[in-house]
Structure 1
Amino acid sequence: MSTFQGLPPGLFTFFTELEADNSKAFWQANKSRWERDVRAPMRTLLTELSDEFGALRMFRPNRDVRFSADKSPYKLWTGATSEAQAVGGIGYYLEASAEGIVTGYSAMLMAPDQLRRYRAAIDYARSGNEFEHLNRTLAAESHPVSHGAEEPLKTAPRGYSTDHPRMSVPA
């Protein structure tokens, strides 16, 4: 029997309010809401999903602002991943915010060797055409493929022609 009862409306309200006041004072005054409306239901969901997807680890709520121009201290979302490794790891991803819910399976940031193999596969006619077809199919079903944590390239990668037939496909 499932113990997960869904993500409560309070989760989405909490993140809407946090966006309006992303301060330590707001966080301290509302930490019990975060525990009740965000952390507890996410933990329950992750426990239930672990049978099918393996262990999922929840992201911490505070941001690492050391190297960021944006110094807001808290994330405006909660999420989890099956992969402990940000660079080179491939796994499941779940995120909930005031904007809604995002799920995925991918690499957040490809390691250099993964990126070389990926670009070679996109360049190769057969697998590149299959990738384009898969992208179109997913987009038609409202499941677009995103660029992950990397910003999209503004031009062709080094060694590839700017008029490559798949330059418009995320790379």
Structure 2
Amino acid sequence: MATDEGVQVTPPFDGFPPQLFAFLEGLEKDNSKTYWEANRATWEEYVKGPVNQLMADLEEEFGPLRTFRPHRDVRFSKDKSPYKTWVGVTTSDRAVGGIGAFLRIESDDMRLAGGAMAFAPDQVKRFRSAVADGRSAHEFEDIRRQLADRQLPVGPGVQPVLKRTPADYPADHHRAEILRWKGAVVIKEYERAEWMHRPQAIDTVREVWNAIMPLKEWIDEYVGESQDPPRRRGD
């Protein structure tokens, strides 16, 4: 949308339209350039447009947001499907080592997350030290309890947990389970529903992202950003 002065203004978020989900459903069935080109206008108006509106409305509160390019990097993958069958928004540009909030929409659900999906190796060491004992460990447990009370349990993220307690800690350590984690994240999933098509959908994003802020802040303080070379998320 343009103003009288010619400046582009993003209209306010009005919900994720049904066409967004229909586009993704079609892409799941026909992940091809032919489908993409035939439905490019739908992508621009009903997928990219609403996502950009959502980001514009949330950035003042949560800082810079970024979305993901639709094309998959298939160079090292057996799956040569050219397009992602989901659309997402994140506050971090790191796939491994990122700390922040995340939104992912597929054809039949919406997922909200916050914390760290996957620690980088240097972060794993600091995380273990922080949860092993002391004030930081007690703060982490308090945050876990508070989030669990809100039906937002903290879990280990996307990387497989260790089968054994790390060698630097006794096997019977009272926090052995958490010491095996390689991430710390809240993931909340919602089946597709009518409320997602309405402006109120942004309220759910805000509610969950704000709820997980204590976890993010704890990770920021006691784990911090990774100093390892980044593996960035796709734009």
TM-score range, shorter chain: 0.7 to 0.9
- Consecutive unaligned residues of structure 2, counting only runs of 5 or more, are 1-10, 182-235
- Consecutive unaligned residues of structure 1, counting only runs of 5 or more, are none
Matches within 5 A, 1:124-163: 124=133, 127-163=136-172
Partner of 1:105: helix, strand, or coil?
Answer: strand
Relative contact order higher in (CA < 8 Å, ≥ 6 apart): 2
Please name the residue that 1:81 is paired with. Answer: 90
Q: How many angstroms apart in 2 are the aligned matches of 1:140 and 1:106?
A: 17
2:84 corresponds to 1:68: no
Q: State the TM-score, normalized to the length of structure 2.
A: 0.62
Q: CA deviation at 1:27?
A: 1.8
Which of 97, 104, 109 aligns to 2:106? It is 97
Matches within 5 A, 1:114-125: 114-124=123-133
Which of 6, 24, 40 aligns to 2:15? It is 6
Moved more, 90-99 or 143-152: 143-152
CA shift in 2, pair 1:16/1:155, >3 Å: farther
Q: State the TM-score, normalized to the length of structure 1.
A: 0.82
Please name the residue that 1:32 is paired with. Answer: 41
Q: Is the 8 A contact 2:165 2:177 kept in 1?
A: no
Please name the residue that 2:173 is paired with. Answer: 164
Q: How many angstroms apart in 2 are the aligned matches of 1:130 and 1:120?
A: 13
Q: Is the 8 A contact 2:59 2:65 kept in 1?
A: yes
CA shift in 2, pair 1:99/1:125, >3 Å: farther
Which of 115, 120, 124 aligns to 1:106? It is 115
Q: CA deviation at 1:119?
A: 0.8
CA shift in 2, pair 1:22/1:154, >3 Å: farther
Q: CA deviation at 1:50?
A: 0.8
Q: How many angstroms apart in 2 are the aligned matches of 1:98 and 1:139?
A: 28
Q: CA deviation at 1:96?
A: 1.6
Q: CA deviation at 1:78?
A: 0.7
Could you tell me which amino acid in structure 2 is paired with residue 70 of structure 1? D
Percent of pairs identical after alignment?
46
Q: How many angstroms apart in 2 are the aligned matches of 1:47 and 1:12?
A: 21
Could you tell me which amino acid in structure 2 is paired with residue 46 of structure 1? M
Partner of 1:86: helix, strand, or coil?
Answer: strand
Could you tell me which amino acid in structure 2 is paired with residue 85 of structure 1? R
Partner of 1:93: helix, strand, or coil?
Answer: strand
Please name the residue that 1:46 is paired with. Answer: 55
Q: CA deviation at 1:85?
A: 3.2
CA shift in 2, pair 1:14/1:145, >3 Å: farther
